[in-house]
Amino acid sequence: MSMLIEISDLSAAYDGIMALEGVNVVVDKGEIVSVIGANGAGKSTLLRTMAGIVKPQSGAILFKDRNITKERPDRIVRLGICLVPEGRHIFPNLTVKENLEVGGHAVKGRALKNDLFEMVLGTFPRLKERLGQHGGTLSGGEQQMLALGRALMGNPELLLLDEPSMGLSPLFTKEIFSLVRTINADKGISILLVEQNANMALDCSSRAYVLETGRVIMEGPSPDVKKSPAVVEAYLGFELLE
């Protein structure tokens, strides 16, 4: 595999609080990489910084060997990085079709937009059945599908997924993670996954990072991280009992 994005010595503050300190993360082309950690560890700040929403205090972000550390969020989307934010943030008063069209606004060429639209509907048949329905009337799982579909309309090479299982039933959580694997395997899209459900995240990814108070305290192949006694005690104990 070749490197897609490299985060080097990244430090950032959020709401005046130091959230990331000297973080190093790499995602190769075609990989799913997970980031786990407790609430407040800096996971969401990492994704928001990569997406250009939070400006880093120091460090560098290289995407396909290009320094994007100071790029605007809209420019980062055009370069091929799309964030699916925590809480989904779809447009509740727009229809499913309109939400998807918003996601593709930066894509040039009608033919490519049409291809992406058909790809999204093929990946999420439930959305195809609800094209005229307002986003706010969808179930939580369907809204998460819509948020994923909206991001895919941006034709990304890298998806940043922030807590995709938040607020979902166990059944919908399994379905969403299955779709994440499909997007990666069938579309060749690399994924950096931040997820509170550490067990699901580690099962879904090939490599993982553990964040604690803004620092990477562990990294490695996901099966090795999952077997770490410290990770089991801190993040997996209750999940493994389910």
In one-letter notation, the amino acid at residue 147 is A
Residues 100 and 98: their CA atoms lie apart, in Å, by 5
Please report the pLDDT score of residue 52 as a whole number.
96
Q: Are 230 and 212 in contact (CB under 8 A)?
A: no
> Which pLDDT value is given to residue 237?
60
pLDDT digits (tens, 9 = 90+) for 51-107: 999 999 999 999 999 999 999 999 999 999 999 998 888 999 999 999 999 999 888
In terms of pTM, does the model score above 0.85?
Answer: yes
Residues shown for the chain: 242
| DSSP notation for 74-123 | HHHHHHTEEEE-TT----TTSBHHHHHHHHTTT---HHHHHHHHHHHHHH
Residues 193/177, Cβ–Cβ less than 8 Å: no
Under CATH, which number does the domain 1-70+194-242 receive?
Answer: 3.40.50.300
The structure tokens listed for 83 are 């964030």
Q: Which residue has the tokens 């990666």?
A: 184
Segments in the chain below pLDDT 50: 238-242
Of 149, 29, 136, 128, nearest to 92 by C-alpha is 136
Note the pLDDT of residue 105.
86
Do 228 and 218 touch, CB atoms closer than 8 A? yes
Query: Alpha carbon of 202 to those of 111, 196, 232: distances in Å?
Result: 37, 11, 12
Amino acid at residue number 47: L
Q: Please check whether residue 209 is in contact with residue 202, taking contact to mean a CB–CB distance below 8 angstroms.
A: no
pLDDT value at residue 145: 92
